[in-house]
Structure 1
């Protein structure tokens, strides 16, 4: 079962806005995306459910998840699908072009880590004994 690091209430507190109708889906998707792109490369203590056991780390993960979900709302794309399928398009006098190597959607804004995620995870209260970014190890 996928871990979800934030709730609709946390999203509303983070953004100061009522959450969109599909917020549970967005928070699940943002959590899964951040697990794959960021959290898996961090070292932190976890509960039996795999969630951060420290309250400061859990709050930072919630903020990061809310930031990622908000990013998807703001850019209008959470999957990268909006960036797929065209190399060059011309409509009337307007011509848009994209490198042939970038039509997978992987470079679309919806597939980027939101800048505010880094802000949440670089909180000065998150000392190295609580959270280490980029600390992949095996025990």
Structure 2
């Protein structure tokens, strides 16, 4: 399993609030989304596949924190289930307002700040380069 790009301490610094107890899990899920958004990105890595350039390392940490921050602000847990229904009742069962955001080209819905960090670092949108 790949290590997340950010630590709970970095998340706390990013949000300005203490990291939640499940910050490690949340950051791991956020890193998976960042990885999915970077499938066509080109940057230098070490033998383990980890980025080696300080600017890229910082951008990936910031994007991961931004993704987790978005989930914390919206009450999501990183599974994507938090935005499925606008309203839910238990008895006598009532589900309404199905919310299906358009699927992005990367197949993952990034938080706006996470997307912005990756774009500013030149990591997205990716493109194929013929050598």
Q: How many aligned positions are there?
A: 124
- Local SS of the residue matching 1:96: strand
State the superposition RMSD in angstroms.
Answer: 3.3
Structure 2 residue ranges without an equivalent (≥5)? none
Q: What is the TM-score normalised by the length of structure 2? A: 0.75
Structure 1 residue ranges without an equivalent (≥5)? none
**Partner residue, 1:10:** 10
> Do the aligned partners of residues 40 and 49 (structure 1) sit closer, same or farther apart at CA in structure 2, a change above 3 Å counting?
same
Q: What is the TM-score normalised by the length of structure 1? A: 0.71
Report the Cα distance in structure 2 between the residues aligned to 1:97 and 1:112, rounded to whole angstroms: 19
Report the Cα distance in structure 2 between the residues aligned to 1:71 and 1:21, rounded to whole angstroms: 16
> Do the aligned partners of residues 25 and 60 (structure 1) sit closer, same or farther apart at CA in structure 2, a change above 3 Å counting?
same
Report the Cα distance in structure 2 between the residues aligned to 1:80 and 1:13, rounded to whole angstroms: 24
- Local SS of the residue matching 1:97: strand
**Partner residue, 1:61:** 60
Report the Cα distance in structure 2 between the residues aligned to 1:112 and 1:68, rounded to whole angstroms: 9
**Partner residue, 1:135:** 127
Report the Cα distance in structure 1 between the residues aligned to 2:50 and 2:130, rounded to whole angstroms: 18
Higher-Rg structure is 1
Report the Cα distance in structure 2 between the residues aligned to 1:20 and 1:3, rounded to whole angstroms: 18
CA shift for structure 1 position 95: 8.1
